[in-house]
Amino acid sequence: MNKALVFLGSPGSGKGTQAKLLQKEFDFFQVSTGEMLRREVSSGTSLGNMIKSVMDSGGLVDDVMVERLLENNIQEGKNYIFDGFPRNLRQAVFLDSFLLEKKISLVRVFYFHIENDYVIKRLLERRVCSICNGEFNVNFHKIKGNICPNCLKQSLVIRNDDNELTIKDRMKVYLEETVPVFDFYKKKNIFFVINAMNTIDSVFCEICDKLLGVIK
């Protein structure tokens, strides 16, 4: 049976960075609903413009819209890391029945624990590549101007929602909507806490340890 992991945690907790590392090392595909939505926004359609205004405000995009996006991007026969989904209880219930239908077993839910002070600092220091979607930190990575260390193009940008005001709104939404999802998974005994304040390498090792017996 194919397997799925869910990454939960506040904005800036490093879910995307770790999902990309795991995808590189193991037979898993990263599913980032945030990236899917940003692609929709860049298409410049009226739907994209509507989504943009919600994302820029720090709110959550309509559940049905995000669920449809997932349905269009997930196939049977693959292993997935859900990064940024579910964001609320309704989405968690949806994911359960969706994975059942696709014959994919949810084996681990990792909660990336990070304190608030780290979050704001990390998000303000974050740069993303508009070509490869790579995520970088101006302090951890050697960055020259806006050159992506991966593509070597002048493609690094600051995300629209990585500003102090929107970060506070995103944190509020996270506390109100996403934190209640923890209990949903704790009851299933697949919930694991990761110390997301450690270095990228140590967080990766902690995740791999907690995947022992689950992945080859």
Q: Write out the residues near ligand AMP by the rule CB under 6 A.
A: 11, 33-34, 37, 54-55, 58-61, 66, 84-85, 87, 91, 161, 170
Which residue's CB is nearer to ligand AMP, number 58 or number 134?
A: 58
- By beta-carbon proximity to ligand AMP, the closer residue of 61 and 207 is 61
Residue with tokens 């990263």: 30
Q: How far is the CB of 83 from ligand AMP (least distance, A)?
A: 7
Read off the DSSP letter of residue 163: S
Strands (E), 25-131: 29-32, 80-83, 104-113, 126-129
**Element holding 30 (H helix, E strand):** strand 29-32
Which of 87, 58, 106 is closest to 179 using CA atoms? 87
- Nearer CB in complex with ligand AMP: 55/74: 55
Identify whether 86 is preceded by a cis peptide bond (ω within 30 of 0): yes
Tell me whether residue 163 or residue 215 sits nearer to ligand AMP (CB atom). Answer: 163
The distance of closest approach from Cβ of residue 176 to ligand AMP in the complex, given in angstroms and rounded to an integer, is 13
Distance CA 15, CA 140 (A): 16
CB of 61 to ligand AMP, least distance (A): 4
Nearest approach, Cβ of residue 182 and ligand AMP (Å)? 15
The Cα 195–Cα 204 span in angstroms is 10
Q: Which is nearer to ligand AMP, 42 or 205 (CB)?
A: 42
Closest distance of CB 159 from ligand AMP, Å: 8
Unique residue bearing structure tokens 């049976």 = 1
CA atoms of 107 and 139, how far apart (whole Å) = 34
